[in-house]
Amino acid sequence: MIATLQCTVIDCPDPSALARFYSAILGWRVEGDEGDPEWVWLTDPVTRRRIAFQGVQGEYHPPRWPDPGHPQQMHLDFDVDTREDVERAQEEVIALGATFLHDSGGQKSGFRVFADPAGHPFCLCYGQSSAA
């Protein structure tokens, strides 16, 4: 092993707002939004895993899933247990500011794709075994 992963960093126009969006999904703690508004951490209080949000200087160009002319470059997948759970989760992430993009249509397993408020795609996956 050469190194360990410190965090995943997501570019966005408003790091504090996007950190609060994902905090509401994961229940993780937002850190650093008072000191440096251009860099905010989201930390799992149990495992200490982190996602960082970095402010973009200048004009921000969000991905446009699934447009290859504006590729997603990365995305986050979140597990829920069942199709019924994904229905509830979909309502909640849309209420937080997500935009619905696609439903894989699976009855027992599948995924739904959304864009976060900064335009990054993310998926709510259901009926799949988690590697956790």
List alpha helices for 55-103, DSSP H.
83-96
Rg (CA), the chain: 15
Equal fold, 1-57 vs 67-132: yes
Pairwise CA distance, residues 11 & 118, whole Å:
9
Nearest to 100 by CA among 79, 124, 77, 126: 124
Domain boundaries, the chain: 1-57, 67-132
Give domain 1-57's CATH architecture.
Roll (3.10)
For 113, counting Cβ atoms within 10 Å of its Cβ (0-12 exposed, 13-18 middle, 19+ buried), the class is buried
pLDDT of res. 72: 78
- To the nearest 5 percent, what fractions of the chain are helix, strand and coil? 20, 30, 50
Quick one: pLDDT at residue 129? 55
Give residue 67's pLDDT: 87
Instruction: Determine the pLDDT at residue 132.
Output: 39
pLDDT at position 18, please?
A: 96
Question: What does pTM read for this prediction?
Answer: 0.83
| Topology annotation, domain 67-132 | 2,3-Dihydroxybiphenyl 1,2-Dioxygenase; domain 1 (3.10.180)
> pLDDT tens string for the chain (132 positions)?
776 788 999 999 999 999 999 999 999 999 986 767 789 999 999 999 999 999 998 888 899 888 888 887 788 999 999 888 999 999 999 999 999 999 999 888 899 999 999 999 999 999 875 443
